[in-house]
Structure 1
């Protein structure tokens, strides 16, 4: 039978003002929000069409995904057609960017406003609490080893 009394003196770090359970729950919630945002963002497509309807472009976060050229558009001078394709690609990408911003607003996802000084203070407190806990565990292990060797 193993003597566990040395472990009875271990305390959970308290007084740090940090609730690990709450931090974990908050992290899980933010991860779920990020997953949902990624899924919905993958469905967003920006589109643009030329004034004459002969060219259509679709884009997403990776860039141009589709370009449809009506055969009638091939009658245009190649320089004009190339310029129109570049402008249309840009317009489709801008449309995607606008839809992305709207989606982020709908999901109420914003760059979090973080008080970095407070966050760093909490991180230091957590680190100190962890260090104290680690030192206590190390002390208990060493006491246990000494007790085991004496027997």
Structure 2
């Protein structure tokens, strides 16, 4: 019987992918659970922002309704923007487990580097799949040859 192995390279790649997928799942769960909160008008206007719903809560104390309409509008925008900023901070914190983030522009995550990293993973996966297909083809050919040798030349089931 032929030995079938994809080698240590594929096994390491598989372990790395499983680790990365687990990290991505944890990061997604943290982002889904994140709630950004903001307030304005001395706490009389409160807002919440989430990944799934965007602005999910806006509470306006009746005392805030006494503000002139222009000021009320500005305070509502301030609360919503604060909630959005808080949410973005929480997303950035959740992402730090996957990507190194920094406030220093010299050390900040470069989006093109992140894309290059994902491209490297995709290319590695494609290469491993090509290797797998090639190995499966070889194994299929070996199995056919073994069956032909087992049946012997001229056997009714031997079509070669």
Calculate the TM-score normalised by the size of structure 2.
0.66
What is the Cα deviation at residue 70 of structure 1? 0.4
Q: CA deviation at 1:41?
A: 2.1
Equivalence for 2:106? none
**1:4 corresponding residue in structure 2:** none
- 1:109 and 2:112 matched: no
* 2:74 aligned residue (77, 83, 96): 83
**CA root-mean-square deviation:** 3.2
Corresponding residue SS for 1:114:
helix
Counterparts of residues 58-77 of structure 1 (less than 5 Å): 58-62=48-52, 63-77=54-68
TM-score (ref. length: structure 1): 0.69
Provide structure 1 residue ranges, at least 5 long, that are not aligned to the other structure: 1-7
Among 14, 20, 37, the residue aligned to 1:30:
20
| Counterparts in 2 of 1:113 and 1:132: CA distance versus 1, 3 Å | closer
Instruction: Name the SS of the counterpart of 1:19 in structure 2.
Output: helix
User: 21, 29, 32: which one pairs with 1:39?
Assistant: 29
2:50 equivalent to 1:57 = no
| Contact in 2 for aligned 1:10/1:136 (Cα 8 Å) | no
Alignment of 1:48 with 2:38, yes or no, is: yes
Once residues 95 and 122 of structure 1 are traced to their aligned partners in structure 2, the CA distance between those partners, rounded to angstroms, is 36
Number of corresponding residues: 137
Mark the runs of 5 or more structure 2 residues left unpaired by the alignment.
100-113
Q: Within 2, Cα distance between the matches of 1:36 and 1:30?
A: 10
- Describe the superposition over 1:49-82 as per-residue Cα deviations: whole angstroms up to 9, x where unpaired: 1142210111122411111110111112333322
Rate the CA distance shift 1:126–1:98 in 2: closer, same or farther, 3 A. Answer: same
2: distance between equivalents of 1:136 and 1:72? 78
- 1:57 and 1:51 map into 2 onto residues whose CA distance is 12
